[in-house]
């Protein structure tokens, strides 16, 4: 088991993406906030700190962060509401911290748009790696060509997705999941496969995949209760079905 928190001098943190990348750390525990901020600072990030929801929203409005590390249990306005409000202002990657072991709380965080979560106690070095992983996914791939099928268009270079010409409001993971499905139409993937290929994790809570598939269906299916595109393959996982005779191009 990881030690709960390590002093910033306990080891070298992974290198970050330079001083232009801004991370907002929101936690009412000053020890946690200080240690996490120290590791992120040493990894090369510009770090802002807030101890509650209103302060976090004010900081995010004044200087929009590239990513938010957000504690679920905050005084007054909890992390779920902060996440909802931040997502309402536009896309921003969110990694949620939670001390709770209840799976329902983790799923709630994903449902409101968190891209990842870390359960306390955690290793700050692991958190930095999660930050780097999420940020890596946000960076456009200039060489990737747009994908088109079943009324959907995914433009990886611009990180934009549309359905019948209308832009979809997708989180980072939802976008990556949709792009992956469009690149592999007709193939069934297990949740373990999707976690490895889309999230880049060899292990983790598979409910993360389930929640993201459900959220994605709600945005791309005409009737999410009777999905036509993202099919459940019982005993296996999920398969993306393009329109009959149509493949993603």
Does residue 124 contact residue 6 with C-beta atoms inside 8 Å?
A: yes
Flag whether pLDDT at 245 surpasses 50: no
Helix ranges (DSSP H) in the chain: 30-42, 53-62, 79-88, 103-111, 124-138, 172-183, 191-194, 207-220
| More confident: 245 or 182 | 182
On whether the CB atoms of residues 47 and 23 are closer than 8 A, the answer is yes
The pLDDT of residue 143: 56
Name the band, by pLDDT with cuts 50, 70 and 90, for residue 126. Answer: confident
- pLDDT (tens digit per residue) in 5-34: 443 333 333 344 444 899 999 999 999 999
- The yes-or-no verdict on residue 133 having pLDDT over 90 is no
Instruction: Quickly state the pLDDT bin for 163 (edges 50, 70, 90).
Output: very high
CA 195 from centre of chain: 12
CATH top-level class of 147-240: mainly alpha
141 has a pLDDT exceeding 70: no
Percentage of the chain with pLDDT > 70?
A: 82
Fold of 8-138: Rossmann fold (3.40.50)
Question: Which residues of the chain are in CATH 1.10.10.10 domains?
Answer: 147-240
Would the pLDDT of 104 be above 70?
no
Stretch(es) of the chain classified as CATH 3.40.50.2300: 8-138
């Amino acid at each position: 088991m990881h030690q709960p928190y390590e002093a910033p001098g306990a080891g070298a943190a992974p290198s970050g993406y330079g001083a232009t990348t801004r991370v907002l750390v929101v936690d009412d525990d000053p020890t946690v906030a200080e240690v996490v901020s120290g590791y992120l600072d040493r990894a090369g990030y510009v770090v802002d700190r807030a101890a509650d929801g209103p302060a976090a929203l004010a900081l995010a409005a004044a200087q929009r962060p590239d990513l938010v590390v957000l504690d679920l249990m905050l005084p007054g306005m909890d992390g779920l509401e902060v996440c909802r409000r931040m997502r309402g202002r536009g896309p921003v990657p969110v990694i949620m911290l939670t001390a709770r072991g209840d799976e329902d709380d983790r799923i709630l965080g994903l449902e409101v748009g968190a891209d990842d979560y870390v359960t306390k106690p955690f290793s700050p070095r692991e958190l930095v790696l999660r930050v780097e992983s999420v940020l890596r996914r946000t960076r456009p791939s200039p060489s990737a060509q747009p994908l088109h099928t079943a009324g959907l268009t995914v433009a990886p270079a611009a990180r934009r997705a549309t359905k019948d010409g209308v832009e979809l409001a997708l989180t980072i993971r939802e976008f990556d999941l949709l792009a992956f499905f469009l690149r592999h139409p007709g193939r069934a993937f297990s949740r373990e496969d999707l976690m490895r290929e889309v999230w880049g994790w060899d292990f983790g809570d598979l409910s993360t995949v389930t929640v993201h598939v459900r959220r994605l269906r709600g945005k791309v299916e005409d009737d999410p209760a009777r999905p036509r595109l993202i099919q459940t393959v019982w005993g296996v996982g999920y398969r993306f079905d393009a329109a009959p005779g149509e493949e993603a191009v």
